Amino acid sequence: MRTQVVIVGAGPAGLLLSHLLGLEGIDSVLLERQTAEYVQARIRAGILEAGTVELLRQTGLGERLDVEGMEHRGIYLQWPGNRHHIDFTGLIGRSVTVYGQTEVTKDLMAAREKAGRPAYYSAADVTLHDVAGKPYVTFVDSDGAARRIDADVVVGCDGFHGPSRSSIPSPQVWERTYPFAWLGVLADVAPSTDELIYAWHPDGFAMHSMRSPRVSRFYLQVAPDEDIAQWSDDRIWTALATRLGVDGWTLQTGTITEKSVLPMRSFVSTPMRHGNLYLAGDAAHIVPPTGAKGLNLAVADVSLLAAALTASLRGNGELADAYSETALRRVWRCTHFSWWMTSMLHRHGDDFDAQLQLSQLRRTVSSLPAMTELADNYAGLPL
């Protein structure tokens, strides 16, 4: 088989890249080691930046988003006895939208099927060859047959553990592992807040998010090696009520349907291009989820890369040559913002560190420039 672009990884980044290329008449084939059902069911990020929302709308993917997405004008920052609203729309004229990654994936899969773009799920032994010259990819399909696809370009959207990143020789890597994790909880209960709550507390960070008008998402700061079996439903609700509590506000409880421990780290690998191999999303960078940047950063990579590849395959390689450097400028800005939010809100260090965090929180909610800086980064830089 031959195609113009082989995309390794059929999560949101790979699916969106295939969709954007298809709109420009560029052929692509998707390879994914998991089943389609597994990919569609993965629960990940749920906050879409303004630019992400606009891109999905402009490319025909906004129908369900406009009906089911929950627009949010800002967030609450909180510490004991204090809860303050940061009004993104009032400060910068942009908002964010709560719309789960599972829903984005469903929309992208439906668009792929409608367009008839080929994809191989349950692909095993995916191996990249001659990426610096005339690239091709070999794999074993779901029926056990060995296959080969020749292409002009290979794009790795296959995450940290996929084969694409390891195909770039001698990468430079930066990494920060944080001394805490999140206990993530999904519950069948209507949100107890109109906007997301980010709460600093002496017992550890807590967050109240949501997935729909009927489903809420919560996070609690825990140790990286936390035993999830020690967290009963009652213990979770008690901890959330304590860390999120303020006078005159009540946390509504319900049936907990999912619990998981999420590690916290920052990771950047450069370059994001080697020959005819390009990386996008988690294959090149990972951010802690505090700043809601993971999915949005992957979308920014793919938006940039789709334009670059379209121009390159038509004879103009200028954007493709600049892809890695251009993408990394945004990657490092988002990495810094995610580090800043994480460092400010998570209890770590000693009491001296705690006072520094509280000082930063007071400054952030009382200074117009500080609030504007938070809003501008959280709602998203222009694509």
Catalytic residue among 19, 72, 285, 346: 72
**Residue 317 near residue 153, CB atoms below 8 Å:** no
Average pLDDT for the chain? 96
How far, in Å, CA of 244 to CA of 265, rounded? 24
Catalytic residue among 163, 191, 288, 289: 289
How far, in Å, CA of 292 to CA of 245, rounded? 23
Task: Tell me if residue 38 is catalytic.
Answer: no
Catalytic residue among 201, 285, 293, 346: 293
**Residue 287 near residue 293, CB atoms below 8 Å:** yes
Task: Tell me if residue 72 is catalytic.
Answer: yes
How far, in Å, CA of 204 to CA of 348, rounded? 8
**Residue 171 near residue 268, CB atoms below 8 Å:** no
pLDDT at 41: 77
Catalytic residue among 136, 219, 278, 378: 378
**Residue 151 near residue 218, CB atoms below 8 Å:** no
- The arithmetic mean of pLDDT across residues 246-264, rounded, is 95
In the chain, % of residues over pLDDT 70: 99
Task: Tell me if residue 106 is catalytic.
Answer: no
Alpha-carbon torsion angle 83, 65, 112, 289, nearest 10: 0
Domain 2-70+97-174+265-343 has CATH 3.40.50.300: no
Q: Which amino acid is at 333?
A: R
- The arithmetic mean of pLDDT across residues 321-345, rounded, is 97
Residue 104 phi/psi, 5-degree rounding, is -60, -45
Catalytic residue among 120, 178, 198, 323: 198
CA neighbours closer than 13 Å in the CB half-sphere of residue 351: 0
pTM of the entire structure? Answer: 0.94
Alpha-carbon torsion angle 218, 224, 229, 232, nearest 10: -30
- pLDDT confidence band for 43 (50 / 70 / 90): low
pLDDT digits (tens, 9 = 90+) for 185-217: 999 999 999 999 999 999 999 999 998 889 999
- Beta-bridged to residue 261, according to DSSP, are 183
Task: Tell me if residue 293 is catalytic.
Answer: yes
Any idea where the domains of the chain sit in the sequence?
A: 2-70+97-174+265-343, 178-263+347-379
pLDDT digits (tens, 9 = 90+) for 135-173: 999 999 999 999 999 999 999 999 999 999 999 999 999
pLDDT at 211: 87
Q: Which amino acid is at 68?
A: E
**Residue 125 near residue 144, CB atoms below 8 Å:** no
Task: Tell me if residue 346 is catalytic.
Answer: no
pLDDT at 46: 83
351 φ/ψ sector (left φ>0, alpha ψ -120 to 50, else beta): alpha
Output the DSSP codes for 135-173. -EEEEE-TTS-EEEEEEEEEEE-S-TTSTTGGGSSS-EE
pLDDT digits (tens, 9 = 90+) for 57-116: 999 999 999 999 999 999 999 999 999 999 999 999 999 999 988 999 999 999 999 999
CATH no. of 178-263+347-379? 3.30.9.10
Output the DSSP codes for 39-102. HHH-----EE-HHHHHHHHHTT--HHHHHH-EEESEEEEEETTEEEEEEHHHHHS--EEE--HH
